[in-house]
Structure 1
Amino acid sequence: MKALVLAGGHGTRLRPITHTSAKQLVPIGNKPVLFYGLDAIRAAGIQDVGIIVGDTADEVRRAVGDGSRFGLRVTYIPQEAPLGLAHAVLIAREFLGDDDFVMYLGDNFIVDGVRGIVEDFRRSRPDAHILLTRVDDPTRFGVAELDETGRLVGVAEKPERPRSDLAIVGVYLFTPAIHEAVRTIKPGDRGELEITTAIGRLLERGADVRSHVITGYWKDTGRVEDMLECNRLVLETLEPYNHGVLDDATEIAGRVVIEEGARVTGSRLVGPLVVGAGATVRDTYVGPFTSIGPGCTLTDTELEFSIVMERSSVIGVRRIRDSLIGKDVEIKPAISTPQAHRFVLGDHSRVRVA
C-alpha cells in the first residue's frame, strides 16, 4: 500500500503567512503540520509516499528531503496548479501503479492517526473508504449523505444546502478502482476535478464505497483559529524537559519544554508551552498554549495562546494573545508620538486594535 500526500495549494485562508510559506509547514507545537501526517502514515506501516507539490515545492523538498528521517521513501509529483484532489490522483497514476493507497491532505490534523483505519481497509478492501466527522458548518467541506441504515448514498462538494452535517475528513482510502473514475469526470463549478465527483461516480456504478464516522479529534488547519486550536491540543500532551539555560530569577509553572540552546532569564513561563532551540526569552511573561519557534527573541513582553515562527522577535509589547506570527517578523513599540496607528500589512491581513 502507498500514500499520496497533498502539499500544494495556495493556503489563501492563512494569508499573509502563506504568501511566503507553504501552509503545510506552518508549525504546531514547533513541528510542521505536514510532519504529523507523515508520522501517521509511517505508523500505519506505509513506506512509499508520493507528495503532490505546487508553487512551494522547493520549501517542501527542503523540509522533507528524501523522507528517510521519517522512515519513508518519498517521490515528489509536481502539480502545475491546484486543479483538485481528483487531478492529484490523475497525475500520480504512474507512481501509484496498481497499488491500494491512502490519500492524505497535508494540512489535516488527526490526533489518533490512521493506523487502525488502514488496517481495517487492508482486511476488508472495499473500492473506497472515506472518513466523516460532524461539523457545525458543513458548507465549508465535502459532505456525505447516509441512508437510514448508515450506508453511504451520496457525496457533494461544499453544497449550499447540505443534506447532513457529516463532513468528509481529508483522509481517503482507495483501490485502483478510483483511477477509472477520475479519468471520466469533468471539472466542477470551481474549475477543479473534485474527488467527491469521482466517489459519486463509483457509487453510481455500484462500487463498494464505505464510510466511517470518526470520534477522535480532526481539524482542517486552513484558518488561523484552527492552527491555534491544534497548537493548544498538541501542547496539552507535552512531557516537560529543559535542555536550555534558565537563571534563578525565572519561574516555571506547568508543563514547559525548553529546547537545546534556548536561554531564559528573569521571566515567568506558564505552560503548557514550548521554547524552541536557540531562542532567547528575557524579562518576559509567556503564557499557556504558546509555541516559540527556534531562534526567536522575546524581551520585556507578554505573550500567550499564540504561535511564533522561527527567528522572529517581540520586544517591549503588551499584551499579545491568539496570534500567529510568521518567520523573521519584528514587533516592537512605535516611537512615542501623538496617538496614531501605523501599519505595513500584506494582502488579506486582519488587524484588531484596542
Structure 2
Amino acid sequence: MKGLILCAGRGTRLHPFSYSQPKTLLPVANHPVLHSCIRKLCEVGVHDIGIVIHPSHVQIPPLVGDGSKFGASITFIEQQVPLGIANAVQLAQPFLRDDPFILLLGDNLLMDSLHGLTRVFTSTQSDGVVMLSKVDRPQDYGIAEVKEGRLVGVEEKPEKPKSNLAVIGAYLFTNPIFESIAQLQPSARGEYEITDAIQSMIDRGYHIAHAITEGKYTDVGTIDRWLEANRWMLTRELGDTYRVGATSVVENCEITGPVLIGEGCTIKNCRLGPYVSIQDGVHLENCVHIENSILLENSSLQGVAWKVQNSVFGREAHLQGQTDDSSGVFILSDKSSIQIPHFNKEDV
C-alpha cells in the first residue's frame, strides 16, 4: 500500500501567511501539518509516499527531504494547475500504479490514527474506504449518504443534506478510482471533484466502505482553525504543562500550560498561556500576558502592556509599544513591524 498527500493548494484563506510558504508547512504545536500527515501514514505501515506540490512550493522538498527522517521514502509530484483533488490523484497514477493507496489532504489534521481506515478496508474487502465524521453544519461539507450501514452516495455541500456525516479528507482507494476520474467533467468551480469520482465508483457497482472517526479534526485553512488546531494539539502533547527548548532562556516569567517554547528563544518578564506556541529564535520581553497565540520564528514582542490573545505573529514580525490597559488582537505576516507609542488618556 502507498500513501498520497496533496499539498498543491493555494491557501488563499490563510493570506498573508501562505504568501511566503505553503499552508501545509504552517506549524501546529511547532510542527508543520504536513509532517503530521507523513507520520500518520507511517503509523499504519505506509512508508512509500507521494506528495503532490505546486512548482512554486519550493520550501516543501528541503523540509521533508527524502523521507528517511520519518522512516519513509518520498516522491514529489507536480500539479501545475490547481484543478482539484481528483486531478491531483490522476497525476499521481504513474507513482501509485496498481497499488491500493491512502489519500490525505496536506492541510488536514486528524487526532485519530488511520488504523480505523485500514481495518475497515481489510475486513470488508472493499474497493475503497472514506473516513467520515459527524458535523453540526453538513451544508458546509461533502456529505455521505449511508443506508443499512452501506455508503450509497456522496454530495458536495448539499442544500438539503441526507446525513450529518462529512467526508473529512482521509480516503483509501484501489485502482478503479482512476477510471472514474478519467470520466469526470469539471464541477461548477472548474475542478475535478473527488466526491464525484467516489459517486462514480458507487454507481458502477464498486463497494465503497466507510469508517467513522470520533476524534477531533480540522483543515488548517483559516486563522481561527489554525489557532483551534494549535490548542488541541498542545493539550494532547503537554496537558497543562509547558516545555522549553534546551537552548532557550526564560527569566522571571509566569507560565500557564500548555505552552511550547522552541530553541534559541529569550523570554523575560512575561506572562504566557494557556495555549501558546513559540517557535525558534523568538524574543519576548516585558509582555503583560500572551495567550492562545502562535509566534513564528524570530518574531519579537517587547514592552507590550496589554493582553495579546487569539493572535499570530509571522516570521521576523516585530511588535513594540507601551499603552494603557486594553486588549489587542494582531495578525502580523512575515517581516511585519508595528510600533505603538506611549500615550495618555487625555491625549485621545
TM exceeding 0.5: yes
Q: Tell me the residue number matched to 1:326.
A: 314
Aligned-pair distance for 1:123?
A: 4.4
In structure 2, the partner of 1:127 is 127
Residue 173 of structure 2 is matched in structure 1 by: 174
1:307/1:323 contact within 8 Å kept = yes
- 1:234 equivalent to 2:222? Answer no
Q: Which residue does the alignment assign to 1:313?
A: 300
2:292 aligned with 1:286? no
Residues 306 and 322, structure 1, Cα contact 8 Å, conserved in 2 = yes
Q: Which residue of 2 aligns with 1:262?
A: 248
> Take 2:247 and 2:331, find their aligned partners in 1: how far apart are those partners?
33
Please give the TM-score of this superposition, normalised by the length of structure 1.
Answer: 0.88
How many residues get paired? 326
Q: What are the residue-to-residue correspondences of 1:40-59 with 2, within 5 Å?
A: 40-59=40-59
Counterpart contact for 1:112–1:217, Cα < 8 Å: yes
* 8 Å CA contact retained: 1:143, 1:157: yes
Taking the TM superposition and a 5 Å limit, the aligned residue runs for 1:39-78 are: 39-78=39-78
1:159 matched residue in structure 2 = 158
1:291 alignment partner AA: S
* CA shift for structure 1 position 273: 0.6
Indicate if the aligned counterparts of 1:259 and 1:278 stay in contact, CA closer than 8 A. Answer: yes
How is 1:1-354 mapped onto 2 (pairs within 5 angstroms)? 1-147=1-147, 149-239=148-238, 254-301=240-287, 302-317=289-304, 318-333=306-321
Do the aligned partners of 1:40 and 1:115 also contact (CA within 8 Å) in 2? Answer: no
> Counterpart of 2:340?
none
Please state whether the residue corresponding to 2:177 is helix, strand or coil: helix
SS at match of 1:181: helix
Between the aligned partners of 1:275 and 1:264, the Cα distance in structure 2 is: 10
Distance in 2, matches of 1:110 and 1:344, equals 25
Supply the distance in 2 between the matched residues of 1:273 and 1:218 (Cα, whole angstroms): 21
Cα deviation for residue 56 of structure 1 reads 4.4
- The CA deviation at 1:311 is 1.0
Amino acid in the other structure paired with 1:290 = V
- Percent of matched pairs sharing the same residue: 37
Cα distance in 2, alignment partners of residues 207 and 119 from structure 1: 18
CA shift, 1:218, in A, is: 1.6
In the alignment, structure 2 segments of 5+ residues that lack a partner are 334-348
Shift of 1:133: 0.7
Letter in 2 for 1:333: G
> Could you report, residue by residue, the CA deviation over 1:46-77 in whole angstroms, capped at 9, with x for unpaired residues?
11000000154211112111111111100000
Residue 121 of structure 1: how far off its partner (Å)? 1.6
Contact 1:262-1:278 within 8 A present in 2 as well: yes
Do the aligned residues in 2 keep the contact of 1:21 with 1:56 (CA within 8 Å)?
A: no
Q: 1:238 to 1:203 in 2, by over 3 A?
A: closer
SS in 1 for 2:237: coil
Q: What secondary structure does 2:162 align onto?
A: coil
Given that residues 133 and 169 in structure 1 are in contact (C-alpha distance below 8 angstroms), is that contact kept between their aligned partners in structure 2?
Answer: yes
What's the offset of the Cα at 1:345? 7.7
Please report the TM-score for the alignment, with normalisation by the length of structure 2. Answer: 0.89
For 1:155-195, what per-residue CA distance to the aligned partner results, in whole angstroms no more than 9, with x for missing partners?
A: 11223332322110110100101010001111101100000
Aligned equivalents of 1:225, 1:260: Cα separation in 2? 30
